Amino acid sequence: MAQGMLKDTQMRLVFETGLNEKGEPVYKGKSFNNVKKDATIDQIYQAALAISGLCSYPLNAVERNDSLDVIA
């Protein structure tokens, strides 16, 4: 049976930067690499809130992206 080994963790913050000509929100993302692999969801969320406090745009979403090596 195949197994997965956690290789890398990335945190992505998505900000609402304004509206387009149709009045729909426009989003931009900022990714942060080298996040601790054993960081909990609460720790990632707290870090995202701290970073977003330094930004001029409102935070819309926080994403965690894990990369795995699949070993057969």
Whether the CB-CB separation of 32 and 12 falls below 8 Å is answered with yes
Closest of 6, 1, 4 to residue 70, by C-alpha? 4
Cβ neighbour number for residue 11 with a 10 Å cutoff = 21
pLDDT digits (tens, 9 = 90+) for 20-66: 999 999 999 999 999 999 999 999 999 999 999 999 999 999 999 99
- Domain spans in the chain, listed from the N-terminal domain onward: 3-71
| pLDDT at res. 47 | 98
Whether the CB-CB separation of 41 and 47 falls below 8 Å is answered with no
| pLDDT at res. 23 | 96
Is the pLDDT assigned to residue 72 strictly greater than 90? no
